[in-house]
Chain A
Amino acid sequence: MASTQTPKSILKKNTSYPAASEARAERDRETALYHANLIQQRKDVEYEILLSTETLIDYPLATSPYDSGNPSPADAKTFKELLRPFQPSDYDVLITERNINERCGYTLCANPPHKERGGGKYRMVGKNGKGKDFKVVDKKELEKWCSEACAKRALYVRVQLSETAAWERGAWESTIKIDLLDEPKSESDTVVEGLQKLQLTEDVNARKKQGAADLALERGDQKGLAARNGLVDVKILEKDVQREPVAPSLQDEELSDRLDTMHLTLEGHTSSFGSRRNRRHEEDEDEEEASDWIM
């Protein structure tokens, strides 16, 4: 019986161990580097946000005739650009920092914030309207802005910011467009926009390229910030089909075989009762029984 057999060791054989460990060390190093790069990117983005916040504390740069309702185009443009990587929480930080420097929370407003008179921590709001408008709010909330209009403008911008952190955003999110509440469409802007839309000579190649880029964006092929140096390298190759396509016919033998079960087919797979192995097992048992009987 089994007594002649030597017992099988449960320990791992360590042949070819060093080679495996080297490959593994290399892979570990790559993984570590990958994550370190991610963290570095994240730090870079955070630092960029900090610098943007610092810049935006002193806005607006232009003085009269511009005001918060009618900001200078240059200021508005930089404001929108710098705000792109912001999350709503970063925007809140910007508001507090501006308040500390005695400025209205709305970045494009040059006025100092409104000061509530008297002591007390809370204020009653909406005493003149209906009952549902009535609220008790923190005094600090009211001292963030110079006026109701500015509060509206600032919060209008806030809701457009993406909740996802900038380093996790995909391609389509990092190009979000931010609108101001009462953005004046200056005449030159409209003209330029119209000119851009107006294409005199339709370039086929350019249109193709644009189409491909749109498709790639939709599929998520374009790599975002985080995926720029991913661990896996996925390449999709198009399969070239050379021969002429032939329409299927009922005379085809393969097809006619499958014809009676075709209505059960799901995406090319025909399910059956029990797995193949089970069936084979049953057949084996039958044979064994048969041979037992003979013995």
Chain B
Amino acid sequence: MNDDDSANKQREAGNRETARLWRAWRTVHELVQDRGYILSEEEVKISLEDFERKFRGGDNQIDKRTMQFSATPSDEMMKRYTNPSTDRDPIPPPPDVGTIFVQFQEGDSIGIKHMRKFAQDLTGGNYHTGILVTSVNITPAALKIIPAVASETKIETFLEADLLVNITHHELVPKHVLLSKEEKTALLQRYRLKDTQLPRIQVGDPVARYLGLRRGQVVKIIRKSETAGRYASYRLTV
């Protein structure tokens, strides 16, 4: 009787963990898709059963080591990141985007070693961006690796707990749209502004992190307005 009880509890806990991972898995797919990478619908909208079947390891647990995927940017995204040619440099540098690699990291503490290995995996696989999803906080020292390898590959980190729900689907979060460089210059000319005169959004802002915004980019925020229907405002990422 007692054994039955504990076995039940264990199964339930396992199920809960599976459900958590499934939700994080789906959110991170939506995130990658919303940024403009190519993902198929069945990849994004995977059901819990399919997810369990795909990633269940030998001991009836989800095997996190197999939870990884990569995606390539769509043409539209490439276009949004292209640098317009100017008089000063007629041949602009290529857009600063590339394949993205997402990995779920297991372990109850993430240190320098794990981070280094992830960075090496990224450079080894020629990935432009990497997203590391962890269940625990990463040590401060390990986070210092990110700027150190920034010239080779861009690393972003997310907590599983932060990905359980997709924050951009909440009704109080307005729609954020990233502007291309051309759109940005057009906007600044239209209102005769310098970019520092725009309102700002921080790089660490949850939505900015979701969209992977970089310093100097401008987002258009579209809010619902009772009087005007829709109201657009612009923010500069700092």
Contacts and interface: CB of A to CB of B under 8 A. Distances in A.
A96 interface: yes
A57 interface: yes
A93 B140 contact: yes
Interface string B139-155: 11110110010000000
A100 B113 contact: yes
Interface residues of A, number: 11
A100 B110 CA distance: 7
A96 B139 contact: yes
- Select the residue from B112, B113, B116 with max chain A CB neighbours within 10 A: B112
Interface string B97-109: 0000000000001
Given A53-B112, A54-B116, A100 B139 contact: yes
Secondary structure call for the B interface: helix
Contact of B111 (A46, A47, A50, A100): A100
Interface in A48-62: 50, 53-54, 57
Nearest to A101: B113
Nearest to A47: B148
Contacts of A46: 144
B111 A96 contact: yes
A97 interface: yes
A96 B116 CA distance: 16
A6 B118 CA distance: 77
A124 B145 CA distance: 37
Nearest to B142: A97
A23 B111 CA distance: 50
Nearest to A46: B144
Interface in B72-124: 109-113, 116
Nearest to B116: A54
Contact of B145 (A50, A93, A96, A101): A50
Interface string A12-47: 000000000000000000000000000000000011
Given A93-B139, A93-B141, A57 B112 contact: yes
26 contacts: A46-B144, A47-B144, A47-B148, A50-B112, A50-B141, A50-B144, A50-B148, A53-B112, A53-B141, A54-B112, A57-B112, A57-B113, A93-B139, A93-B140, A93-B141, A96-B111, A97-B111, A97-B112, A97-B113, A97-B139, A97-B141, A97-B142, A100-B109, A100-B110, A100-B113, A101-B111
Interface of A: 46-47, 50, 53-54, 57, 93, 96-97, 100-101
Interface of B: 109-113, 116, 139-142, 144-145, 148
